[in-house]
Amino acid sequence: MPELMQLGVFVLCYLAFAQLALLQQAHRQKVWRSAAPPTARGRQLRRNAAVISLAGAPALLMTVEVPGFAVLLWLCLMSAAAVAVALTLSWKPGLLRWLP
Give the global pTM: 0.91
Domain of 46 in residue numbering reads as 2-96
Distance CA 87, CA 74 (A): 20
Distance CA 91, CA 97 (A): 14
Domain count, the chain: 1
Give tens-digit pLDDT for 33-78: 877 788 899 899 999 999 999 999 999 999 999 999 999 999 999 9
**DSSP string computed for 27-86:** HHHHHHSSPPPPPHHHHHHHHHHHHHHHHHHHHHHTTTS-HHHHHHHHHHHHHHHHHHHH
